[in-house]
Amino acid sequence: MKFHNRINSFIAVLLVIAILPACKKSFLERPPLSAVVDANFYKTNDQVLAATSLLYSQVWFDYNDKAMYNLGDFRGGSAFSAWNDRGNVLFNTTGDNGENGASWRAFFNVVAQSNLFLYNIERYGGPDVSPNIKKIAIAEARYMRALAYRFLVMNWGPVPVIENNFDKLFDTTIRRNTVPSVWRFITREMKAAAQDLPETPILEGRLTKWSAEGMLARFYLTRSGVESNGGARKQEFLDSAKYYAQRVITMSGRKLLNNYEDLFKYPYDNNSESLFELQWVFAGPEVWGIANSMPEYLAYNPDISFGGWGGDKGATWWLMTHYSGFQLQPDGTLKGRTLDQRLKATFMVPGFTYPEITSVSSGQPLTFPFQGTDNNFLNVKKYVIGSPIDLAGIASQQRYPNDTYMQRLAEMYLIYVEAEIGNSGSTTNGTAIDYFNAVHTRAGLPAYEVGGANGSGPLTLDELFSERYKEFAMEGMAWYDMVRLHYWNPNKAYDILNSQDRGLFFTAPDQMPNPTQWTLTKTSWFSERTINANAGNFLLPIPNAELSQAPNLQQPPVEYP
């Protein structure tokens, strides 16, 4: 049972009332006060834990709804939408783009609500709140604030660091802070969280020391590029990334699930591989923002969902070229099959069968159909957990119970590998190869071998990135891989992005049912295939609504203390 269900209904209602007004507020405005700041609210351990529980779901809702995959996958090139969300697909996102504004608003909502909790716990925390619970709750808020700033600085570059929204109320002269100083701030915050979070969760789904150390591994890997010198990443931070990643791998008690597809078969929440998830629960139509709405936008039609608006979304041609077994042919087609189990768990290919999803129209387990003449879609499977037949009573339209991964143990293995590769471009280190293979072979692929008769030689950075694209496709990660690379090698990041084919194609099986291979052919009349990523459009523009309220956001950034 998730910790949400342990909150009594009165407190849960207060939390809903408290946060809903914030969803439409500017980042400059004071967070909602309502009932959660009442002097009677922070008097018990349960009340304090209830106050931080909203930091695991509602404050992230606008990000999770559509912005997660819009930025992380559409902008990163691992998936695309042919007719919608074109700003991020084509890399011409404007200050008026809906998901640009939604994600900015969501991240600053996380910051504001974290700040509000930290403000309130010091003023209203009663003597019956145990010091340990208070310490853990404060660490949760600092963790969430730091993670929100990680998203902000990687998407928009210099952003204003706000630790107390009351100090900034009505301050229209607020300035952005430099990228290195934002990273210094969030690293300090995450280190403080790691110090105070428990090694085991105080309730199921709650953050632990290993959640924070996992984020420190991610932060230091990125910071090695932020503070690079002449294209060489900072070795001190590469070493720190390895240190924290290995600690989580060897000391956390977390372990990879045996089967990759089980990561996304409901109920998978808070499994042994998870380090941090957004915690969603099904609720009736009277409550908005505590259930997962994202599956509705990904499911390809109502035959497998309650709404199903994802019919034009799917894998890009570029991503399909990364699955071993698909070979580019002389005629320009891509042909073959793959042993990589991650493809079936992430995208639907004609002929794939999903026993966990029932077709509403047939009442039988879903076999993804073959349709179209010169274009179709390899629609999204990941996070699509079942039809109304499968989920009756625990889901409804835009209200699903499944969590959203924010970090998995698999990332720790691949962070260690990338940090070991560091500035050398490749590695033969035994531990790094073992860690790579832990992820690689779990996907059903043969182990990577450096030497021997069948050896492939040193493991390269390009191979490591390819592994990440496949492992984390549709988990909102590809774009942040590009940003991390851009910090220290912008030209390589541009080259990767500009080489991606993001256009329509047609996937035909050799037979139906039970196909043995597929042929992918680019749709001849579709012209919007590639983008032009460059220094002028790489980062997202600050939403116009924010610039109108705080014009000094256009001024050069300053250092944060």
Taking CB atoms within 8 Å and a gap of at least 24, the contacts of 461-469 are: 461/418, 461/421, 461/425, 461/426, 464/414, 464/417, 464/418, 464/421, 464/436, 465/496, 466/322, 467/414, 467/436, 467/439, 467/440, 468/414, 469/78, 469/319, 469/322
Task: Give the mean model confidence (pLDDT) for residues 523-528.
Answer: 97
Q: Is 191 helix (H, G, I), strand (E, B) or coil?
A: helix
In a domain? residue 407: yes
Please tell me whether residues 366 and 472 are part of one structural domain.
Answer: no
Q: Are strands 426-427 and 459-460 parallel, antiparallel or unpaired?
A: antiparallel
Query: Please, which pLDDT band fits residue 452 given cuts at 50, 70 and 90?
Result: confident
Please tell me whether residues 184 and 239 are part of one structural domain.
Answer: yes
Give the pLDDT confidence score for residue 38 in this predicted structure: 58
Give the pLDDT confidence score for residue 8 in this predicted structure: 29
Query: Which contiguous run of DSSP H or E holds residue 453?
Result: none
Q: Is the pLDDT of residue 171 over 80?
A: no
Q: How many C-beta neighbours within 10 Å does residue 23 have? A: 17
Q: Is 268 left (phi over 0), alpha (psi -120 to 50) or beta?
A: alpha
Please tell me whether residues 394 and 491 are part of one structural domain.
Answer: no
| Least confidently predicted of 126-130, 280-284, 411-415, 553-557 | 280-284
Please tell me whether residues 28 and 12 are part of one structural domain.
Answer: yes
In a domain? residue 369: yes
The single residue listed with the structure tokens 């380090």 is 275
Please tell me whether residues 34 and 146 are part of one structural domain.
Answer: yes
Give the pLDDT confidence score for residue 36 in this predicted structure: 42
Q: Is 106 helix (H, G, I), strand (E, B) or coil?
A: helix
Closest CA to 468 of 148, 218, 279: 218
> Is the bond into 401 cis (omega within 30 degrees of 0)?
no
In a domain? residue 360: yes
Q: Is the pLDDT of residue 29 over 70?
A: no
Q: Is the pLDDT of residue 502 over 60?
A: yes
Query: Please, which pLDDT band fits residue 263 given cuts at 50, 70 and 90?
Result: very high
Please tell me whether residues 218 and 306 are part of one structural domain.
Answer: no
Number of domains in the chain: 2
In a domain? residue 256: yes
Q: What distance in Å separates the CA atoms of residue 308 and residue 204, rounded to the nearest whole number?
A: 30
Query: Which contiguous run of DSSP H or E holds residue 328?
Result: strand 326-328
Q: What distance in Å separates the CA atoms of residue 321 and residue 334, rounded to the nearest whole number?
A: 8
Chain centroid, CA 51 distance in Å: 24
Q: Is the pLDDT of residue 91 over 60?
A: yes
The 10 Å CB-count burial string (b at 16+, else e) for 308-346 is bbbeebbbbbbbbebbeebeeeeeebbbbbbebebbbbb
Please tell me whether residues 116 and 249 are part of one structural domain.
Answer: yes
Please tell me whether residues 262 and 303 are part of one structural domain.
Answer: no
Please tell me whether residues 415 and 393 are part of one structural domain.
Answer: no
Q: How many C-beta neighbours within 10 Å does residue 383 have? A: 23
Task: Give the mean model confidence (pLDDT) for residues 454-472.
Answer: 96
Give the pLDDT confidence score for residue 62 in this predicted structure: 94
Asked if 366 contacts 304 with a C-beta cutoff of 8 angstroms, the reply is yes
Residues in the chain: 561
Exposed, middle or buried: residue 515 (CB in 10 Å: 0-12, 13-18, 19+)?
middle
Query: Which residues have C-beta within 8 Å of that of residue 260, sequence separation ≥ 6?
Result: 341, 342, 345, 442, 443, 444
Q: What distance in Å separates the CA atoms of residue 427 and residue 416, rounded to the nearest whole number?
A: 11
Q: Is the pLDDT of residue 19 over 70?
A: no
In a domain? residue 279: no
Query: Please, which pLDDT band fits residue 240 given cuts at 50, 70 and 90?
Result: very high
In a domain? residue 84: no
Query: Please, which pLDDT band fits residue 27 given cuts at 50, 70 and 90?
Result: low
Q: What is the CATH number of the domain that holds 52?
A: 1.25.40.390
Q: How many C-beta neighbours within 10 Å does residue 432 have? A: 22
Please tell me whether residues 162 and 262 are part of one structural domain.
Answer: yes
Give the pLDDT confidence score for residue 454 in this predicted structure: 83
Give the pLDDT confidence score for residue 18 in this predicted structure: 38
Please tell me whether residues 391 and 407 are part of one structural domain.
Answer: no
Give the pLDDT confidence score for residue 221 in this predicted structure: 98
The 10 Å CB-count burial string (b at 16+, else e) for 175-196 is bbbbbebbbbbbbebbbbbbeb
Give the pLDDT confidence score for residue 549 in this predicted structure: 85
Q: What distance in Å separates the CA atoms of residue 561 and residue 87, rounded to the nearest whole number?
A: 35
Largest interatomic CA distance in the chain = 75
In a domain? residue 273: no
> In the chain, what percentage of residues exceed pLDDT 90?
86
Give the pLDDT confidence score for residue 9 in this predicted structure: 28
The amino acid at residue 188 is R
Q: What distance in Å separates the CA atoms of residue 98 and residue 274, rounded to the nearest whole number?
A: 30
> In the chain, what percentage of residues exceed pLDDT 70?
92
Exposed, middle or buried: residue 171 (CB in 10 Å: 0-12, 13-18, 19+)?
middle
The amino acid at residue 46 is D
Q: Which residue range(s) make up the domain with 357? A: 293-400+510-525
Query: Please, which pLDDT band fits residue 344 given cuts at 50, 70 and 90?
Result: very high
| Least confidently predicted of 26-30, 162-166, 220-224, 435-439 | 26-30
In a domain? residue 62: yes
Q: Within 13 A of 223's CA, how many CA atoms are on the CB side? A: 24
Q: What is the dihedral of CA 279, 281, 283, 286, to 10 degrees?
A: 0
Asked if 277 contacts 49 with a C-beta cutoff of 8 angstroms, the reply is no
Please tell me whether residues 391 and 418 are part of one structural domain.
Answer: no
Query: Which residues have C-beta within 8 Å of that of residue 437, sequence separation ≥ 6?
Result: 447, 448
Query: Please, which pLDDT band fits residue 22 given cuts at 50, 70 and 90?
Result: very low
Query: Please, which pLDDT band fits residue 166 given cuts at 50, 70 and 90?
Result: confident
